[in-house]
Each structure stands twice: as structure tokens, then as C-alpha cells.
Amino acid sequence: MGWLVLNGWMGKCLTVNLSTKTLKTLDVDKELLLSFMGGRGLGVKLLWDLVPPSTKPFSEENILVFAVGPLTSTPIPTTGRFSIVSKSPLTGGIFYSSCGGFFGFKLKNVGFDYILVEGRSSTPIYLYIDDKNFELRDASHLWGKTTKETFKILEEDLGKDFSFVCIGPAGENLVRYACVMGGYGNFAGRGGLGAVMGFKRLKAIAVKGTGKPKIADEEGLAKALKNFRDRISWNPVLDKALAYYGTSALVNVINEHRILPTKNFQLNRFEDAENISGETLKEKIFVRRRSCYNCPVGCKRMTKTGSGREGEGPEFETLASLGSMLLIGDVEAVAEINYLCNDLGLDTISFGGTVACAMELSEKGLPDARVKWGDAETVKRLVVDTAYRRGLGRWLAEGSKIFSEKFGFAEASMNVKGLELPMYHPDGVFGQALAYATSNRGACHLNAYLISVEVLGYPYLMDRFSPVNKPSIVVYMQNLAAVMDSMVVCKFLGFEFDEETFANLLTLVTGKTFTQESLITIGERIWNLERVFNFKAGLGWETDRLPSRFKVPLQPMLKEYYRVRGWKPNGYPTKNKLKSLGLNVEDEC
Amino acid sequence: MLKVPKEVYEELKDYCLRIARRGYVTAHGGNASIKSGNLMWITRHASSLENLKPEDVIQVSLEKPSSFDVLASLETIVHRQIYLETPNLAVLHAHPPISVALSFFMDEMIPIDTEGYYVLKKVPVVEGQPGSLELAKNVAIALKSYYAVIVRAHGVFAAAKYMDIAYQYLCMVEHSAEILWLTEVLKKSGLTLHKPKKF
């Protein structure tokens, strides 16, 4: 295969060993790029190659990969994103998280397909990268600062041309669901990858790149993008709902379908949903829209509450996890809890899920968990206590699974593989329930967003209470999501485009021929490798489950899911399946 | 999203089924709405008109966007514009094949069958992408003067105060289109056209 000219990819990476303080640039294996694309896929392959699955997440041997893809920083909308991959301290399994903003765009422009971070620094440091230099710099003055303060100091020191990722105090204090902030209002939220950064004492990364990836067929791409942008502007979800309300448009819709998690999933409808809805948010606290790099949708929201506090969000998931889940029917209170989580660096879904669990335990009379439903002021205090691991916060920082086990009532934790459930009640969306149970990173809506077909009708409407054909759709969506995270593009594009469009764009950008089938195969390869890693890390078929609270007929769907995947009845990929995907896995499970 | 009143659902279901049985829509195509004060009840995005269920009827405001718009038909914007600019109370949209085929060849259709000629008089052909404001405006303007309008390469919008009348207009457009098409075919086969004397 000829690789005389590299288009789309940059062909270089930066490896950083924090223990030895050595930094190196290396050429990237081109075949690796074709097989795993970039972003999540690349990170997953590096984790597989470099980290034994039994490795402890909080150990020098764990790695962090920050990766972009062949579409990053191209004229294609939503391509400023990047992926982070590591072993999660919350799930103990492989974890990938995608983040919007501008950091991916700048990282690609500096000339790297990925940054690999190994080892652990003895003192707080941050990584500095521009077009000519890269080095580790002292971060003692940043340690202990909030995300916002960190960004501000770095901006003052380095200039606004830089983009940053950083962690807050929650990451420094190893809260198991600490997030990585990738720009104001942008987060690699889930799975505690911020705590992995904290363990490594890597406070931030600053990057400024002014280069650009080469594009194989600029004229063809420009032509294709005309139609691409038109289709975005004709799509009611992208151009109207998300643009007008942001993701908060979903609150009323999901509530009226009786799938809005309420009171720690004990209920599926919230009486006060209107008070945390997109309409109320717009009327009471909306300041302006915000967009990621080259995004015509602009789903982000800047808001300001009556008390004068301002910040980013809340998004739909946060409105539910800090609103209906905790019975807080007040958009301003939810926004203020959200701002605190953002500043201290906490994933709002896991924090909300863990506090909801504590509220349920408190209701059952547990003396150590004194937090009542709807008590917004106590929740605000708990955000701080959790980030600094004080009082009850010390246990909340462990996530709902460990928290509920510690207090002897594991049934109150709404998790899959240790990751708290997102904000769609599984009993009313059978396909989404299967997607939660089988996601490699734990309960996740972004690995297969069945809400699109079970509620919104994109690209068509399925019976949400039927298991029929759901396993096949979940498998297809999971494979497609893995590719989208690897190209790297925003999942919202899935409301309008499928692998046919992406294959065409990739071909125009890279000059290599991609087809619908080859793209889905790459996604399947990534998914299977993640699955094998998880099995070897101790997350086997028995973790493909839902909390006992739910009544979804999961088992028949799971059986069918394994069959459709070409896996054994125990949920492990067959030798033939792995071989057909070019995965060299020797021993079996 | 309020629960649709039974009588509204029954009426929409009835006419949607009629449209589907006539072959005027494909599996998930077409849409229908009924105006009620400052709101409308409209079929859900991607619902099947052949098998409309109560949850497939969505209430949306005529005055401002609402978060429920995301569930409603892609053509909600067109229905909304029709209600804002005309006194109609019911709108049907379908993709009858002969009308769509003829739209590639003309800027307006003048029916030559008696019923179509006297009732419809003329059916304008307009353009615009599905779900776009441009289409909404073009259709609404046309429906100020006519009972139905064909969107080139797309389908027909028919509007009236009563659903049954809107359905009548929709069927008449397709019937007139079919007559036009058949007469053209017959002319080309060598037959001589005899127009009615008082036409």
C-alpha cells in the first residue's frame, strides 16, 4: 500500500514518560491507523499493547492516551474533538471518553495523531506543546486550583491562542469519577479519567498548533460539504431543537415518555419536570449559545442564575441527574450545583447518581448518609466535600457502587460495570437498556443511542417496548459509534448521517478507499478488542446486567446479542471472530 | 406533550389510513395536522400513516417553538406557516406518484377533467427543501389562493377548514394528474383529443 503522501493523519505522535521526564516524537505505524483509525480506536489498541489488563488504574503502569483522528481539524463540521483512553478507576475496565471544544483541533494542528502519557511525576507538572517545542513544566502554582482558575492562569501565562485540558481538585484527590475539562463547558466527563491524570500529577496540557492536515481531494471535499451542511440545516434535531434549546430540549420529551429517571430511578416521571425543562432554562437563566470548533449546531449553553453566578450548562443529562434524580425541581439550583461540579472537576451523571443513592439510603434510615430528597443546599456542600474527600464526601468520591456496598445496600446503586446510568429509564426503552448492559465502558448512552430510534424517530421509529431486532440495532450502533469516536466526529451527526457519508468523507480526506463495510469492520474490531481487554480485566459476561430494580426482559436480548456479535454463549468473542477482525489474541476466556 | 384527545386522534388516524391505502405515501412518508386555537396536533416524525397510534400525534404551538417540536413531523414548519397565513384548519401532505412525476414537467397543473377544472382550477408547482422555511413560505403563499399545491419532486399539500375537504382536494389533484398523464399517453398513441365544448 502506497503511503508516499500522508493525508488526513499527521503520522507523528508524542510520548511522555512522567517518571523519567522524557519526551519523544515517534512515527506512527501507518497500518495501525488504517486498522484502528485514530481517537478511541488508536487509544484502545495502545492500551491493549502496553497495559496488562490486570494493571491497577491508579498505578504508574496505567497510561493515558489523548488522540485525534483523520477528520480532526478538517473543514468537516464538528471535527475539533478528541478522545482520551485509559483504564478507569471507576469501572476497572477499559475506558474512552470523547470531548468537544477546540483542544483536538489544536493538537492535530501541532502535528500529532496522539499523545501517550506514561509513568507518574513526583511533583505536579503540566505538558506544554507548540509548533516547535514540547516540554514538561512545573504546575505547583496550579495544583489545588479549580478548572476555571487553572484555565485563567494558563491563558494569562501563555495566551489565548492556546487550548487546554486540565483537572480540578476532584482529579487531584482521586475522586473515581473526576472528569477532564477540555475547554470552557467541554468535558471528557465519564469514567474518572481526571483521577488518572491526578494520580500521574499531570494537572494540564497546553497546546497551540498552527499547521493543518493535508487533504487528498480538497475540491471533492468542498463539493461534498455543501450537501453535508445543507443536510444539517434541514435536520429538525440538529438545526432546530439542539440549536434552540440545546440538549435540554429533551427534558419534557423524555419525561412525557415516562423514562425520565426520578428519585434514583424509583420513578420514571418527575412532577416538576417543567421547572427544569429547556423552556424554563431558556426563560430564566439562558445567556447565550456556544459552539465547539466548526460546529453549526451550537448546543452548548452559557447561563446565569438570579444570584449572579454564571457558567456552562446544564445539559440534559445534568438537568436530570442533579434535578429529577434528586427531586430538585429548580433550574437555578441545578445550574449552581452544575457550576460547582464543573469548577471542581466532577462528572455530573456519576455525582448525581451517587448522591441519589445516598438519599435513598438516608431515607432507609442509614445514620451516616444524612441527605434528604430535594435538599439543594446540602447537595452543593456535598459537591465540595466530595471533591476534597471530606466527611460523607469521602465515600461519595468512590462512586455509587462502592458507596452502596460500604453501607450494606448495593441495590441502591444504579450502575453497570460500576458506571452510573445515564438519564433514560431503561424500563421504557428496551433497546437502550440492552445498550447499557453491554457497553464496554459501563452504563452509557453514547455507545449506542437507541433513544434516536426508540423515541425521536431518527432515522425511523421502533417500538420502544419491544425486544424484536434490538440486539442487531444495538450491535450496529455500537460499531458505528466506535468509528465515530475514532474519526473523531460528534455523535450528534448520527441524527442525519450514517457510515455511507462518513466513508465518502474519509476517502476524500485521506485518499484511501473506505467503504461502509470497511468502516463498520473497524468499529467492530475496536469493540471486540475492548471486550477482550475487559474480560481479562475481570469484567466478564456476569457484568452485562442491569440493576435489579429494572424489569426489562434483558436475558433473551443478551443471548441474541452474543449470537449476533459472533460470540460464545459466555459472551467472549470466538476465535474465528477475532481472527476475521485481524486481532491476535492468543489465550481464551 | 399532552395526550391527544380521542376524537382528534380518530380523525387523523382515519384520513392517514385512507391516504396510505391509496398509495399516496411510502412506509413512513406523509403527514397530517389539525389546528386547534393557537396550537396544532400533527403526526410524529417517522410515524407510519398506515398504522397511526395515539403516541404518534404530537401537540405543538403555532406561536413559538417548543421542545416537543423535535418529535413532530419534519414538515411541522410548513404546517405552522399554512395555519399562520391562511384560515385553514386541516392540512394533509402526501407523495402521490403521478402528481410528483408531472411536477418535473410543469410549473403549474391545469386540470382538464371537469371536476378538477371547476374545483381546483389550477394547482401551482413550488420548490423548496423538505422542512425548510423557504418551502414553508412558498407553500403557504400558494395556499392563500389555491386549495392544493404540488412541491416539485416531492409531494402535495392540501388544506381546508375540514379534514374531509382537504382529503378531497388531495385526491382530486392526483386524479387530475392521472387524467392529464393518460390523455398525453393516448395522444401519443395516435388518438385525437376531443375537448368538451363548454370547457
DSSP sequence for B70-111: GGB-TTHHHHHHHHHHS---EEEEE--HHHHHHHTT-SEE--
Q: Are A456 and B74 within 8 A, CB to CB?
A: no
Strand partners, A165: A205
Q: Are A461 and B66 within 8 A, CB to CB?
A: no
Instruction: Give the CA angle between residues A246, A387, A537 to the nearest 5°.
Output: 85
Q: Are residues A452 and A389 in the same domain?
A: no
Least Cα separation, residue B19 to chain A (angstroms): 20
Q: The domain spanning residue A497 has which CATH number?
A: 1.10.599.10
What pLDDT score does A1 carry? 45
Q: Are B46 and A252 within 8 A, CB to CB?
A: no
Q: Are A241 and B69 within 8 A, CB to CB?
A: yes
Query: String of b and e for A118-149 (b: at least 16 CB within 10 Å)?
Result: bbbbeebbbbbbbeeebebeebeebbebbbbe
Question: Which of B1, B67, B76 shows the shortest C-beta gap to A245?
Answer: B67
Q: Please report whether residue B199 resides in a domain.
A: no
Q: Are residues A178 and A33 in the same domain?
A: yes
Q: Are residues A137 and A191 in the same domain?
A: yes
Give chain B positions within 8 Å (CB) of A250. Answer: 67, 70
Domain that holds residue B120: 6-188
Q: Are B131 and A244 within 8 A, CB to CB?
A: no
Least Cα separation, residue A256 to chain B (angstroms): 6
Give chain A positions within 8 Å (CB) of B44. Answer: 457, 461
Q: Are A240 and B46 within 8 A, CB to CB?
A: no
Q: Are residues A560 and A445 in the same domain?
A: yes
Percentage of chain B beyond pLDDT 90 is: 86
Q: How many domains does chain A have?
A: 3
Instruction: Tell me: pLDDT of B23 over 80.
Output: yes
d(CA A193, CA A166): 11
Q: Are residues A416 and A452 in the same domain?
A: no
d(CA A436, CA A477): 12
Residues 6+ apart with CB under 8 A from A259: A268, A424, A425, A427, A428, A429, A455
Q: The domain spanning residue B140 has which CATH number?
A: 3.40.225.10
Q: Please report whether residue A233 resides in a domain.
A: no
Give chain B positions within 8 Å (CB) of A278. Answer: 67
Residues in chain B: 199
Give chain A positions within 8 Å (CB) of B65. Answer: 240, 244
How many CB atoms are closer than 10 A to CB B134?
12
- Would the ipTM clear 0.90, i.e. be above it? no
d(CA B119, CA B103): 20
Q: Are B45 and A457 within 8 A, CB to CB?
A: yes
Running along chain A, 589 residues long, what does each successive block of 10 average in pLDDT?
A: 76 97 96 96 98 98 98 97 98 97 97 98 98 97 98 96 97 98 93 98 97 96 95 87 90 96 98 96 95 92 95 96 98 98 98 97 80 96 98 96 94 98 98 98 96 92 94 97 97 94 98 96 98 97 97 96 96 95 82
Is the Cβ–Cβ distance between A265 and A425 less than 8 Å?
yes
Q: Are A253 and B46 within 8 A, CB to CB?
A: no
Give chain B positions within 8 Å (CB) of A236. Answer: 45, 69-70, 72, 74, 76, 131
Least Cα separation, residue A278 to chain B (angstroms): 7
The stretch B87-111 carries a mean pLDDT of 97
The CA distances from residue A87 to A50, A294, A588, B166, in Å, are 11, 31, 21, 61
Q: Please report whether residue B182 resides in a domain.
A: yes
Domain that holds residue A68: 12-207
Give chain A positions within 8 Å (CB) of B68. Answer: 252-253, 256
Using DSSP's 3-state secondary structure scheme, residue A83 falls into strand
Using DSSP's 3-state secondary structure scheme, residue A348 falls into helix
Give chain A positions within 8 Å (CB) of B1. Answer: 252-253, 256
Q: Which residue of A has its CA nearest to B66?
A: A279
Q: Please report whether residue A42 resides in a domain.
A: yes
- Strand order from edge to edge, sheet including A82-87: A22-27, A12-17, A114-118, A64-67, A82-87, A94-99
The stretch B137-154 carries a mean pLDDT of 98
Q: Are A279 and B67 within 8 A, CB to CB?
A: yes
Indicate which of B70, B76, B127 best probes the interface with A, i.e. most A CBs within 10 Å of its own CB: B70
Give chain A positions within 8 Å (CB) of B4. Answer: none
Give chain B positions within 8 Å (CB) of A279. Answer: 66-67
Give chain A positions within 8 Å (CB) of B28. Answer: 460-461
d(CA A214, CA A207): 20
Give which of A100, A58, A21, A76 is closest to A485, Cα–Cα: A100
How many CB atoms are closer than 10 A to CB A5?
8
Q: Are residues A412 and A449 in the same domain?
A: no
* Cell numbers representing residue A428 in the block: 421504557
Strand partners, B149: B157
How many CB atoms are closer than 10 A to CB A239?
18
Indicate which of B26, B71, B77, B79 best probes the interface with A, i.e. most A CBs within 10 Å of its own CB: B71
* Chain B residues in contact with chain A using a Cβ-Cβ cutoff of 8 Å: 1, 28, 44-48, 65-72, 74, 76, 129-132
Give which of A80, A33, A81, A42 is closest to A64, Cα–Cα: A42
Name the residue type at position A423.
M
Q: Are residues A481 and A395 in the same domain?
A: no
Using DSSP's 3-state secondary structure scheme, residue B60 falls into strand
The secondary structure element, H or E, covering residue B157 is strand B155-160
Question: Which of A233, A234, A456 shows the shortest C-beta gap to B71?
Answer: A456
Q: Which residue of A has its CA nearest to B59?
A: A253
Q: Are B67 and A460 within 8 A, CB to CB?
A: no
From the CA atom positions of chain B, what is the Rg in Å?
Answer: 17
Q: Which of A372, A397, A420 is the last residue of a domain?
A: A420
Least Cα separation, residue B75 to chain A (angstroms): 9
Q: Please report whether residue A215 resides in a domain.
A: no
Q: Please report whether residue B197 resides in a domain.
A: no
Least Cα separation, residue A456 to chain B (angstroms): 6
pLDDT tier, B73 (very low <50, low <70, confident <90, very high otherwise): very high
Q: Please report whether residue B195 resides in a domain.
A: no
Question: Which of A233, A234, A236 shows the shortest C-beta gap to B69?
Answer: A236
Q: Are residues A397 and A449 in the same domain?
A: no
- Residue A120: DSSP 8-state: -
What pLDDT score does A183 carry? 87
* Cell numbers representing residue A80 in the block: 475539533
Q: Number of residue pairs across A and B with CB atoms under 8 Å?
A: 65
* Chain A residues in contact with chain B using a Cβ-Cβ cutoff of 8 Å: 230, 233-237, 240-241, 244-245, 248-253, 256, 277-279, 455-461
Q: The domain spanning residue A53 has which CATH number?
A: 3.60.9.10
Q: Are B67 and A457 within 8 A, CB to CB?
A: no
d(CA A79, CA A39): 11
Give chain B positions within 8 Å (CB) of A230. Answer: 129
The secondary structure element, H or E, covering residue B36 is strand B31-36
Q: Are residues A120 and A148 in the same domain?
A: yes
Burial (CB < 10 A; 0-12, 13-18, 19+), residue A554, is buried
Q: Please report whether residue A217 resides in a domain.
A: no
Q: How many domains does chain B have?
A: 1
Using DSSP's 3-state secondary structure scheme, residue B61 falls into strand
Q: Are residues A392 and A507 in the same domain?
A: no
What pLDDT score does B125 carry? 98
Q: Which of A177, A207, A237 is the last residue of a domain?
A: A207
Q: Are residues A532 and A396 in the same domain?
A: no
Give chain A positions within 8 Å (CB) of B129. Answer: 230, 234
Give chain B positions within 8 Å (CB) of A245. Answer: 67
Q: Please report whether residue B147 resides in a domain.
A: yes
Could you list the beta-strand ranges (E) of A272-349.
Answer: 286-290, 300-304, 310-312
Give chain B positions within 8 Å (CB) of A241. Answer: 67, 69-70
Is the Cβ–Cβ distance between A581 and A479 less than 8 Å?
no
Q: Please report whether residue A240 resides in a domain.
A: no
What pLDDT score does A243 carry? 86
Q: Are A234 and B129 within 8 A, CB to CB?
A: yes
- Strand order from edge to edge, sheet including A125-129: A134-138, A125-129, A202-207, A163-166, A180-181, A187-188
d(CA B132, CA A512): 35
Q: Please report whether residue A232 resides in a domain.
A: no
Name the residue type at position A103.
F
d(CA A135, CA A133): 7
Question: Which of A234, A457, A458 shows the shortest C-beta gap to B132?
Answer: A234
Least Cα separation, residue B53 to chain A (angstroms): 11
Q: Are A457 and B47 within 8 A, CB to CB?
A: yes
* Cell numbers representing residue A436 in the block: 447499557
The CA distances from residue A134 to A16, A17, A42, A124, A207, in Å, are 10, 13, 22, 17, 9
Q: Which residue of B has its CA nearest to A231?
A: B129
A202-207 and A125-129 as β-strands: parallel, antiparallel, unpaired? parallel
Q: The domain spanning residue A337 has which CATH number?
A: 1.10.569.10
Give chain B positions within 8 Å (CB) of A461. Answer: 28, 44-48
Q: Which of A420, A443, A474 is the last residue of a domain?
A: A420
**Phi first, then psi: what are they for A313, rounded to 5°?**
85, -170
Q: Please report whether residue A416 resides in a domain.
A: yes
d(CA A387, CA A167): 11
Q: Are residues A39 and A158 in the same domain?
A: yes
